Amino acid sequence: MHGRLSLCFERPQNGSSAALRFLVQEPPWRVVRAFPTEAGASLIHLNNISGGILGGDRLELQIELSAGVAAQITSTGATRIYRSRPGQGAAVCSTTISLGKNSLLEFLPDALIPYAGSSFEQHTSIDLAPGATLFWWEVVAPGRAAAGEVFRYRGLRLQSEICAQGLPFAMEHFHLEPGQRPLDSPARLAGDRYLTTFFICKVGPPAGEWRGLEQELAEIAARLTRPGEIRWGASALARHGIIVRGLSRESRWTWPGLYEFWRAAKWRLLGQQAVLPRKVY
Amino acid sequence: MATSELSLLRLIQFSDSALPIGGAAHSFGLESLAAEGRLTVEDLPAFLEDYLQEAGCLEAVFCRLAHGCWPKQSNEGPDGPAGPDGFDGPIEEGAGPDRLAQWLHLNRQLSAFRCSRESREASATLGRRFLRLAASTMESPALATTLERSIEEGVDVHLCTAFGRVGAFLGLDPTPVAICYLHQSLAGLISACQRLLPLGQNRASRLLWDLKPSIVSTVERSLALSLEDVSCFLPALDVASMSHPTLATRLFVS
């Protein structure tokens, strides 16, 4: 299936939360409407009506935030990557996000779950204008762990690039092939199963401010780390932000930790409370 | 002695782990792994193989691309046609694509790939010192200009891209340059392990010896890869490097 979703959050005329404009909405993507949050942002739930990503799917997501608007984007559930049929190519999802001047995007999806025999590529490109802020987390599960299906996917390629006005300051190219390159190596996942990445970015603050936030988040990371259960680390990026990385045996340790990092960082950068997207947890 | 042999000898000296650029002060996260008991002597062969497959391949690609910013016909090098200073040729800014700008952009991209601050700063410190030492040793205005422009533009110079730059300056092919880079990189990590783990000299030497075929195959694999294709997945080492500043006792800067 080939599907494209293109959304634009625009500054409203009357000072309320951002107005959502649908440029393109093709199946399997589905966004019903935007909900105003108490903080003045617009919240949307990304839904895949096919229930997951199927082998050979080609999905595109484009999101644009106009200057000064705030948006919160989440999913309606975990992104399930289904088994590919023999000879079928990898499913691909390409996301392009553009953040206007002084805009704020909180991109807080549920976990990515690659099923046994699945093959998936995800390309994410985000560009921030001056003053723009991004909170983006991603949790990658080993498979359907509750069913004992762990690291049985064929391949998972995750490529992310975050730029400030076209210049990259955070890049990741992961290519996980559990059948070819063992993931339990001490350098890779070292026996853990869930990989969590949280980017906290804003174009503007000088390097010294990021070092201060790094120290604050590193203290939280040290406090939340529990040997044998979960390990966290936080570090200043080359410019404009912080990365928080988590490795854990189970996902239940991940979400409370992510919330704590988000809360601390949002308060420090914007002086605002972090409020989880409204949905059933 | 032929120019290529002389250049190779010069590269071997620049690849020595005893090169005075401060390499012995960095463990790139190994100290945290050892302190947490997550890395043992028994783990080392597989660990370093995995390191080569991921970070080694990424850096080999960057080293080759950095080398490629200065094609052989750029007529520079210590024994090439003399420039105005009688030693090497000036960088031809503005003539065709700006090689230095391309090289600086590669460094920016590598900084973006290195998510852990301590490891990124370690690579940048060693890269800057390496380039300064090479410029000074070979009395090269071209290499000095490379360094000065990186400082002017606030771009970190990484060790693998500096290696590629110097290899091109010496007129060597990219493959031996990348091989020498990875060899000195692994030698540095093994040396760090000797101070962190009960790893004796003979075993350390054997470890590096046994990794040589993997170094060559990693560089061969990297030849077919572009930046778009390359991958590096070492999250446990990333987290270890991120937690290094909070270790109670530290032998290493990174």
- Asked if A222 contacts A235 with a C-beta cutoff of 8 angstroms, the reply is no
Q: State how far the Cα of A88 lies from the Cα of A81, in Å rounded to an integer.
A: 14
**Least Cα separation, residue B38 to chain A (angstroms):** 7
The residues, any chain, with a CB within 8 Å of residue B104's CB and separated by 6 or more, are: B149, B150, B153, B155
Chain B residues in contact with chain A using a Cβ-Cβ cutoff of 8 Å: 33, 36, 38-39, 43, 46-47, 50-51, 53-54, 108-109, 111-118, 120, 156, 230-243, 245-246
**pLDDT score of B77:** 67
Q: State how far the Cα of A95 lies from the Cα of A269, in Å rounded to an integer.
A: 25
Task: Name the residue among B207, B114, B26 with its Cα closest to residue A169.
Answer: B114
Q: Do A225 and B53 touch (CB under 8 A)?
A: no
Which residue out of A136, A188, A209, A254 would a mutagenesis test of the B interface target, given it has the greatest number of B Cβ atoms within 10 Å? A188
Task: List CB contacts (< 8 A) between A190 and chain B.
Answer: 38, 236
Instruction: List A62's β-bridge partners, or say none.
Output: A6, A96
- Asked if B91 contacts B145 with a C-beta cutoff of 8 angstroms, the reply is yes
Q: Which residue has the higher pLDDT, A82 or B86?
A: A82
In single-letter form, the type of residue at position A45 comes to: H
Q: State how far the Cα of A171 lies from the Cα of A160, in Å rounded to an integer.
A: 6
Model confidence at B95: pLDDT above 50: no
Q: What is the pLDDT of residues B155-164, one digit of tens each?
A: 999 999 999 9
Instruction: List A8's β-bridge partners, or say none.
Output: A21, A64
Model confidence at B82: pLDDT above 70: no
- Neighbouring CB atoms inside 10 A of B221's CB total 16
Q: State how far the Cα of A148 lies from the Cα of A145, in Å rounded to an integer.
A: 5
Q: Output the six-digit token pair for B199.
A: 């790893």
Task: List CB contacts (< 8 A) between B51 and chain A.
Answer: 187
**pLDDT score of B18:** 86
Q: Output the six-digit token pair for B243.
A: 């937690």
**pLDDT score of B84:** 32
Q: State how far the Cα of B47 lies from the Cα of B25, in Å rounded to an integer.
A: 20
Q: Output the six-digit token pair for A183.
A: 């993931």
Q: Output the six-digit token pair for B191.
A: 């040396």
Residue B70, sorted as left (phi over 0), alpha (psi -120 to 50) or beta, turns out to be: beta
Q: Do B235 and A245 touch (CB under 8 A)?
A: yes
Sign, CA dihedral A219-A225-A227-A231, equals negative
Q: Output the six-digit token pair for B228.
A: 């778009």
The closest CB to that of A171, out of B54, B113, B235, belongs to: B113
Task: Name the residue among B114, B113, B115, B118 with its Cα closest to residue B245.
Answer: B118
Q: State how far the Cα of A20 lies from the Cα of B9, in Å rounded to an integer.
A: 64
Model confidence at B85: pLDDT above 80: no
Task: State the pairing for strand pair A79-81/A112-114.
Answer: parallel
Q: Output the six-digit token pair for A252.
A: 């239940």
The residues, any chain, with a CB within 8 Å of residue A90's CB and separated by 6 or more, are: A55, A84, A119, A120, A121, A155, A157
- pLDDT band for B91, please (50, 70, 90 cuts): very low
Task: List CB contacts (< 8 A) between A253 and chain B.
Answer: none
Q: Whole-prediction pTM value?
A: 0.93
Mean predicted confidence (pLDDT) in B64-84: 69
Q: State how far the Cα of A197 lies from the Cα of B63, in Å rounded to an integer.
A: 27
Which class for B57: exposed (0-12), middle (13-18), buried (19 or more C-beta within 10 A)? Answer: buried
- Neighbouring CB atoms inside 10 A of B153's CB total 12
Least confident of A97-101, B71-75, B147-151, B196-200: B71-75
Q: State how far the Cα of A258 lies from the Cα of A74, in Å rounded to an integer.
A: 14
Model confidence at B98: pLDDT above 90: no
Task: Name the residue among A53, A130, A140, A128 with its Cα closest to residue A96.
Answer: A128
Map residue A75 onto helix, strand or coil. Answer: strand
Q: Give every residue of chain A whose pLDDT is below 70, as ranges.
A: 15, 279-281
- What is A77-116 written as a DSSP string? S-EEEPPPPTTPPPEEEEEEEEE-TT-EEEE----EEEPT
Mean predicted confidence (pLDDT) in B204-223: 97
The closest CB to that of A171, out of B33, B112, B116, belongs to: B112
- pLDDT band for B121, please (50, 70, 90 cuts): very high
Q: Do A238 and B111 touch (CB under 8 A)?
A: yes
Task: List CB contacts (< 8 A) between B239 and chain A.
Answer: 231-233, 245-247
Chain A residues in contact with chain B using a Cβ-Cβ cutoff of 8 Å: 157, 161-162, 167-176, 181, 185-190, 192, 195, 214, 218-219, 221-222, 225, 227, 231-238, 243, 245-247
Q: Do B232 and A186 touch (CB under 8 A)?
A: no
**pLDDT score of B1:** 57
Residue with tokens 């003053």: A131
- Neighbouring CB atoms inside 10 A of B67's CB total 26
Q: What is the pLDDT of residues A98-118, one digit of tens each?
A: 999 999 999 999 999 999 999
